[in-house]
Amino acid sequence: MSPVSFARQRYTTKAYDASRQVDQAIVDELLELLRLSPSSVNSQPWHFVVANTAEGKARLAKGAQGGFAYNQPKILNASHVILICARRDLDDAYLANVLQQEADDGRFRDDAARTTQHNTRSSYVELHRGLGDIPHWAEKQAYLALGTLLLGAAAKGVDATPMEGIDREALDEELGLAAQGLSSMVAVALGYHSDSDFNAALPKSRLPAERVFTHL
Amino acid sequence: MSPVSFARQRYTTKAYDASRQVDQAIVDELLELLRLSPSSVNSQPWHFVVANTAEGKARLAKGAQGGFAYNQPKILNASHVILICARRDLDDAYLANVLQQEADDGRFRDDAARTTQHNTRSSYVELHRGLGDIPHWAEKQAYLALGTLLLGAAAKGVDATPMEGIDREALDEELGLAAQGLSSMVAVALGYHSDSDFNAALPKSRLPAERVFTHL
Task: At A51, give phi and psi (nearest 5°).
Answer: -115, 125
Instruction: Report the complex ipTM.
Output: 0.97
Sorting pLDDT into bands at 50, 70 and 90, what band is A1? low
Does residue B150 contact residue A151 with C-beta atoms inside 8 Å? Answer: no
Residue B41 CA, chain-centre distance (Å), reads: 18
A184-193 confidence digits (pLDDT tens) = 999 999 999 9
Does residue A208 contact residue B100 with C-beta atoms inside 8 Å? Answer: no
Task: Please give the Cα distance from B20 to B77 (Å, whole number).
Answer: 9
* pLDDT at residue B171, rounded to an integer: 98
Longest dimension (CA), chain B: 59
For this structure, is B164 an active site residue? yes
Nearest to A33 among B7, B47, B53 (CB): B7
* pLDDT at residue A24, rounded to an integer: 96
* pTM for the full predicted model: 0.97
**Which residues, including other chains, have CB under 8 Å from residue B17's CB and lie 6 or more apart?**
B77, B191, B192, B193, B194, B195
* pLDDT at residue B116, rounded to an integer: 96
Find the mean pLDDT for residues B151-176: 98
* pLDDT at residue A180, rounded to an integer: 97
The β-bridge relationship of strands B80-87 and A213-215 is unpaired
DSSP string, A138-161: HHHHHHHHHHHHHHHHHHTT-EEE
Task: Please give the Cα distance from A104 to B136 (Å, whole number).
Answer: 35
B22-75 confidence digits (pLDDT tens) = 999 999 999 999 999 999 999 999 999 999 999 999 999 999 999 999 999 999
Task: Please give the Cα distance from A4 to A100 (Å, whole number).
Answer: 37
Looking at the predicted structure, is the pLDDT value of residue A174 above 80? yes
Distances (CA, A) of B182 to A122, B87, B88, B95: 29, 4, 6, 15
Looking at the predicted structure, is the pLDDT value of residue A211 above 80? yes
Task: Please give the Cα distance from B148 to B133 (Å, whole number).
Answer: 23
* pLDDT at residue B26, rounded to an integer: 98
Yes or no, beta carbons of A205 and B105 under 8 Å apart = yes
Our CA angle for A154, A158, A162, nearest 5°, is: 75
Does residue B9 contact residue A38 with C-beta atoms inside 8 Å? Answer: no
Sorting pLDDT into bands at 50, 70 and 90, what band is A182? very high
Tell me which chain A residue has its CA closest to the CA of residue B84: A213
B7-35 confidence digits (pLDDT tens) = 999 999 999 999 999 999 999 999 999 99
Yes or no, beta carbons of B48 and A107 under 8 Å apart = no
Q: Does A157 touch chain B (CB under 8 A)?
A: no
Tell me which chain A residue has its CA closest to the CA of residue B52: A216
Roughly what angle, to the nearest 10 degrees, separates helices B111-131 and B134-155?
A: 110
Yes or no, beta carbons of B44 and A155 under 8 Å apart = no
Taking Cα atoms as reference points, which of A124, A118, A133, A160 lies closest to residue A33? A160
* pLDDT at residue B169, rounded to an integer: 97
Looking at the predicted structure, is the pLDDT value of residue A133 above 80? yes
Tell me which chain A residue has its CA closest to the CA of residue B43: A206
Yes or no, beta carbons of A3 and B156 under 8 Å apart = yes
Residues 161-190 of B with CB under 8 A from A: 162, 164, 175
* Residues of chain B positioned with their CB less than 8 A from the CB of A26: none
Looking at the predicted structure, is the pLDDT value of residue B4 above 80? yes
* pLDDT at residue A59, rounded to an integer: 98
pLDDT above 70 coverage of chain A, percent: 100
Residues 43-72 of A with CB under 8 A from B: 44, 46-53, 55-57, 59-60
Find the mean pLDDT for residues A32-41: 98
Residue B167 CA, chain-centre distance (Å), reads: 16
* pLDDT at residue A15, rounded to an integer: 98
Q: Give strand ranges (E) for chain A.
A: 46-51, 80-87, 159-163, 182-191, 213-215
pLDDT above 70 coverage of chain B, percent: 100
Looking at the predicted structure, is the pLDDT value of residue A40 above 70? yes
Yes or no, beta carbons of B145 and A141 under 8 Å apart = no
* pLDDT at residue B54, rounded to an integer: 97
A58-108 confidence digits (pLDDT tens) = 999 999 999 999 999 999 999 999 999 999 999 999 999 999 999 999 999
Tell me which chain A residue has its CA closest to the CA of residue B98: A207
Looking at the predicted structure, is the pLDDT value of residue B1 above 70? no
